[in-house]
């Protein structure tokens, strides 16, 4: 009779253990344990897709993200060629070192997104809002930015072979481009791709987009030909224009043509 309590305790412990195992099997966490939050968005290629998703290095070739909210998601290193981001919100998203050829970003909202050292050959950003986005050191060959908002976009060291900017808003665009792989193909009215090869007067084999309200601050435009350039409204703070060529057709930052009374084209002396 004295052993009965011990038997009851043994049986009770076994029942508790079994209940705990069953609970774990069906996804019921034991009391006091943490739980894994369910995916708040769709699952694509086995990955949970939602704002702030970390998809670093994922294989998402051909994936369809059309219309999804991917704010601040991290796609760095992911394989994204032929993916579809049309109409998606990717503001603040990171695409660092990505191989993403022929991707559809048409109509996407990508405010403050980062495309750093990304290969975007053949991709399209038609009508996309790219306000403040960075394409630092990215490959933009045959990319279309037609009718896109590129206000304050950073294009430093990007390769722009046959890149299309027709109808794009380029206010505040910043950066020298590499000429290694060619030149932009089509530009909005009053915009030019200005080149320089007079090293060390300016960076060799480089070019810059020049047009109304461009951001040329701190840029080296020494020995460039600005004879037909429109610099109206440009930010030229700290920029150098030594030996630059002006003409009566050059529009100075204050909107007056070079050589007219009170025109203020930067000194080229």
Planar angle of CA 264, 131, 113, nearest 5 degrees:
130
As beta bridge partners, residue 144 has 124, 164
Where along the chain do the CATH 2.160.20.80 domains lie? 60-188
Tell which CATH classification among 2.60.40.10, 2.160.20.80, 3.40.50.620, 2.30.42.10 matches the domain 60-188: 2.160.20.80
As beta bridge partners, residue 115 has 95
pLDDT per residue as tens, the chain (269 positions) = 454 444 444 434 443 344 333 333 333 333 333 344 578 789 999 999 989 999 999 999 999 999 999 999 999 999 999 999 999 999 999 999 999 999 999 999 999 999 999 999 999 999 999 999 999 999 999 999 999 999 999 998 888 889 999 999 999 999 887 666 667 878 999 999 888 766 566 666 678 889 999 999 988 888 889 999 999 999 999 998 988 999 999 999 999 999 999 888 998 86
Q: Rounded to two decimals, what is the model's pTM?
A: 0.81
Tens of pLDDT, residue by residue over 55-91, are 999 999 999 999 999 999 999 999 999 999 999 999 9
Q: What are the tokens at 67?
A: 């219309």
Instruction: Please report, in angstroms and rounded to a whole number, the separation of the first and last CA atoms in the chain.
Output: 110
Return d(Cα 234, Cα 177) in angstroms, integer: 18
Dihedral pair phi/psi, residue 37, rounded to 5°: -65, 140
Quick check: 179 and 196 in contact, CB under 8 A? no
Q: What are the tokens at 133?
A: 């986005």
- Beta-carbon contacts of 124 under 8 Å, excluding residues fewer than 6 positions away, are 103, 104, 105, 106, 143, 144, 146
Tens of pLDDT, residue by residue over 8-46, are 444 344 433 443 333 333 333 333 333 445 787 899 999
CA distances from residue 246 to 56, 199, 230, 241 in whole angstroms, order as listed: 48, 20, 11, 10
Quick check: 45 and 60 in contact, CB under 8 A? yes
Dihedral pair phi/psi, residue 114, rounded to 5°: -125, 120
Dihedral pair phi/psi, residue 174, rounded to 5°: -135, 140
CA distances from residue 179 to 78, 162, 206, 267 in whole angstroms, order as listed: 27, 11, 5, 26
Dihedral pair phi/psi, residue 130, rounded to 5°: -115, 30
CA distances from residue 23 to 29, 33, 34, 101 in whole angstroms, order as listed: 6, 12, 14, 46
CA 230 to the chain's CA centroid: 27
Return d(Cα 66, Cα 86) in angstroms, integer: 5
Radius of gyration of the chain (CA): 28
């Amino acid at each position: 009779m004295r052993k009965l309590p011990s038997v009851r305790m043994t049986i009770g412990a076994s029942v508790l253990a079994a209940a705990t195992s069953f609970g774990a099997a069906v996804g019921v966490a034991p009391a006091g344990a943490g739980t894994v939050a369910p995916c708040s968005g769709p699952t694509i290629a086995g990955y949970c897709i939602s704002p702030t998703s970390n998809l670093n290095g994922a294989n998402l070739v051909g994936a369809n993200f059309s219309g999804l909210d991917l704010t601040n998601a991290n796609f760095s290193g992911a394989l994204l060629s032929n993916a579809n981001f049309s109409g998606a919100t990717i503001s603040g998203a990171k695409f660092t070192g990505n191989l993403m050829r022929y991707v559809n970003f048409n109509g996407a909202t990508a405010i403050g997104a980062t495309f750093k050292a990304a290969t975007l050959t053949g991709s399209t950003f038609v009508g996309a809002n790219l306000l403040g986005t960075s394409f630092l050191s990215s490959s933009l060959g045959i990319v279309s930015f037609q009718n896109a908002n590129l206000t304050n976009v950073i294009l430093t060291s990007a390769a722009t072979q046959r890149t299309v900017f027709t109808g794009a808003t380029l206010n505040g665009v910043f950066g020298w481009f590499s000429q290694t792989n060619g030149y932009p193909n089509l530009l909005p009215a009053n915009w030019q791709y200005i080149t320089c090869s007079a090293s060390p007067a300016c960076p060799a084999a480089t070019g810059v987009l020049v047009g109304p309200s461009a951001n040329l601050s701190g840029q080296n435009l020494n020995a460039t030909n600005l004879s037909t350039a429109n610099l109206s409204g440009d930010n030229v703070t700290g920029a150098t224009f030594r030996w630059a060529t002006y003409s009566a057709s050059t529009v100075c930052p204050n909107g007056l043509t070079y050589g007219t009374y009170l025109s203020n084209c930067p000194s080229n002396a």
